[in-house]
Amino acid sequence: MVRRSFDVSEAVLLYAEAPARVCEACGANLWIRWHVPRFVQRLDGVYQVVRQVKGCPAGCGNKRKYRPYEDVRFVLPRLTYGTDVVIEVGERQLRGGTSLRAIGRDLNERGVPVEQSHVGELFRSYLALTKLARGDDHALRKRLLEQGGVILSADGVQYDDTSPVLYLVWDVLSGQPLFGERKTFKGKDDLVPLFERVKALDVPVLGIVSDKEKGLFPAVLEVFPDVPYQVCQNHFLKNCAECMSGDLADLKASVSDRAEKVQRIASRLHKAGVNSEEWELGSPRCDEAPIEIVTDEEEEVEAPSPAEDTETESVGADPVLQAEPLTEAQVAAEFTAMAKHAARASGRAPLRPPDMVRDEGLERVRAAVQAAAAKRGAHTRPSTSSKRR
Ligand SMILES: [Zn+2]
């Protein structure tokens, strides 16, 4: 297995927009002030979450910063590991009795790099979630009042079909988990007390968002009958997208086919001694980076043999050689690396199905290759690697 350094370009970018449009004090259009990036390691890979922060540009005195809504199901405040990792560690320990050491080892084997001390922390985070009650937290209550109230989101998350459900209620404006409870039975009567505790916080509830889950729905209606209630639109969108599943399957086959062709070109270039920058990222000198990830996909890449690797490194380190313009074969190697990267991109259904994202990426590479070929003009040799794609 090839061990490679974590590279920002490997992280899946998730851009979170702040939904507010106008200043609540003066009505001016809000401006994007800055972005807050954050890396999150989830079970299926590394994500870079970039969050917009907006403010009023009019100098009306409104100093409020407008941010995107928070989803604690993706990641909890101040954690670098996703909530799916937290739940996996917690449930396997609590229910399965698996030792934290074994869970950590297993996560590492599955390409989720985690130190043993982190596994303990993740387990404690999970325990805290299962009996979370912020009702007595006066500082938190003060902050929630200052922001004008809360927009609640509620959901039950489950590790697998047989595990108890972890119900979470959080404020999407601040991203603060407020109450949590791990229950074996999901029904309205179990959930009413959870919402009663939220009500007892005595902070204005501006709105509620949840899945239309059995139990959750009637419990919200019983405790907060007058609060605007929006049912999550994800399921609705998934149903709308269902009729495209055949097309998506075709696209997936086409993406795999193109990725395979690119891989063949890359292998030919590699055998000819031409490698892209991407090959060098796996070399030992880059291993000092703070996060390392091990992916199964890397195994499919033909790793350079030690002898060739040394040679590549010494060539790369030579300033004279580096200054020379790229040869056509090197350009082709860069394009194959770009295409391989595009073919591995992730996306989230229903709005961004992975195969659609991959297809778009591959098409962008194709356009770049065609533009490069056009630049070379009429004297292009007919059998260059880049032209075959
Ligand atoms: Zn304003």
pLDDT tens profile 123-139 = 999 999 988 888 778 89
Please give the distance, rounded to the nearest whole angstrom, from the Cα atom of residue 312 to the centre of ligand 1: 57
Please give the distance, rounded to the nearest whole angstrom, from the Cα atom of residue 66 to the centre of ligand 1: 12
Virtual torsion, Cα 246, 251, 252, 253, nearest 10 deg: 100
pLDDT mean over 91-102? 91
How many angstroms separate the CA atoms of 331 and 315, rounded? 16
The type of residue at 89 is V
Q: Does residue 11 or residue 301 have the better pLDDT?
A: 11
pLDDT confidence tier of residue 348, bands split at 50, 70 and 90: confident
Please give the distance, rounded to the nearest whole angstrom, from the Cα atom of residue 341 to the centre of ligand 1: 43
Please give the distance, rounded to the nearest whole angstrom, from the Cα atom of residue 63 to the centre of ligand 1: 8
Q: Give this prediction's pTM.
A: 0.61
Virtual torsion, Cα 331, 332, 333, 337, nearest 10 deg: 100
Q: Are strands 229-231 and 205-210 parallel, antiparallel or unpaired?
A: parallel
User: Does 349 score more than 80 pLDDT?
Assistant: no
The mean of the pLDDT values for the chain is: 79
**Angle at the Cα of 79 from the Cα atoms of 351 and 157, rounded to 5 degrees:** 55
- For residue 260, the tally of other CB atoms under 10 A from its CB is 10
pLDDT confidence tier of residue 324, bands split at 50, 70 and 90: low
Cis peptide preceding 350, ω within 30 of 0 = yes
User: Does 275 score more than 70 pLDDT?
Assistant: yes
Q: Which residue has the tokens 């039975």?
A: 185
Please give the distance, rounded to the nearest whole angstrom, from the Cα atom of residue 94 to the centre of ligand 1: 50
Ion ligand 1, residues whose Cβ is below 5 A away: 23, 25-26, 28, 56, 58, 60, 62
| CA 202 distance to own-chain centroid | 34
Please give the distance, rounded to the nearest whole angstrom, from the Cα atom of residue 57 to the centre of ligand 1: 7
Please give the distance, rounded to the nearest whole angstrom, from the Cα atom of residue 203 to the centre of ligand 1: 25
Long-range contacts for 261-265 (Cβ within 8 Å, ≥24 apart)?
Answer: 261/389, 262/336, 262/339, 262/340, 262/343, 262/389, 263/300, 263/336, 263/340, 265/332, 265/336, 265/385, 265/388, 265/389
pLDDT confidence tier of residue 235, bands split at 50, 70 and 90: low
**Angle at the Cα of 125 from the Cα atoms of 9 and 70, rounded to 5 degrees:** 55
pLDDT mean over 233-240? 72
Reported as a single tens digit per residue, the pLDDT across 31-54 is 999 999 989 999 988 998 999 999
Encoded tokens for 81: 């590991």
Q: Are 331 and 325 in contact (CB under 8 A)?
A: no
Please give the distance, rounded to the nearest whole angstrom, from the Cα atom of residue 385 to the centre of ligand 1: 56
pLDDT confidence tier of residue 186, bands split at 50, 70 and 90: low
Burial of 339 (0-12, 13-18, 19+ CB in 10 A): buried
User: Does 239 score more than 60 pLDDT?
Assistant: yes
Please give the distance, rounded to the nearest whole angstrom, from the Cα atom of residue 65 to the centre of ligand 1: 11
Residue 350 zone, left/alpha/beta (φ > 0; ψ -120 to 50; rest): alpha
CATH code of the domain occupying 69-239: 3.30.420
Please give the distance, rounded to the nearest whole angstrom, from the Cα atom of residue 226 to the centre of ligand 1: 30
What pLDDT is recorded for position 9? 65
Please give the distance, rounded to the nearest whole angstrom, from the Cα atom of residue 137 to the centre of ligand 1: 31
The number of helix segments (H) and strand segments (E) in the chain equals 14, 10
Please give the distance, rounded to the nearest whole angstrom, from the Cα atom of residue 20 to the centre of ligand 1: 12
Please give the distance, rounded to the nearest whole angstrom, from the Cα atom of residue 64 to the centre of ligand 1: 9
User: Does 284 score more than 80 pLDDT?
Assistant: no
How many angstroms separate the CA atoms of 203 and 170, rounded? 13
Q: Which residue has the tokens 């004090």?
A: 25
pLDDT mean over 58-73? 91
Phi, psi (degrees; rounded to nearest 5) at 309: -60, -45
What pLDDT is recorded for position 317? 42
Please give the distance, rounded to the nearest whole angstrom, from the Cα atom of residue 23 to the centre of ligand 1: 5
User: Does 120 score more than 90 pLDDT?
Assistant: yes
Please give the distance, rounded to the nearest whole angstrom, from the Cα atom of residue 53 to the centre of ligand 1: 15
Please give the distance, rounded to the nearest whole angstrom, from the Cα atom of residue 49 to the centre of ligand 1: 27
Please give the distance, rounded to the nearest whole angstrom, from the Cα atom of residue 205 to the centre of ligand 1: 24
Please give the distance, rounded to the nearest whole angstrom, from the Cα atom of residue 18 to the centre of ligand 1: 16
Sheet of 31-42, strand order: 12-16, 45-55, 31-42
Length of the chain: 389
- For residue 213, the tally of other CB atoms under 10 A from its CB is 18
How many angstroms separate the CA atoms of 67 and 88, rounded? 29
Please give the distance, rounded to the nearest whole angstrom, from the Cα atom of residue 324 to the centre of ligand 1: 54
Q: Does residue 169 or residue 292 have the better pLDDT?
A: 169
Q: Where are the domains of the chain?
A: 69-239, 242-388
Please give the distance, rounded to the nearest whole angstrom, from the Cα atom of residue 33 to the centre of ligand 1: 14
Percentage of residues in the chain having pLDDT higher than 90 = 34
Please give the distance, rounded to the nearest whole angstrom, from the Cα atom of residue 143 to the centre of ligand 1: 21
Q: Does residue 213 or residue 24 have the better pLDDT?
A: 24
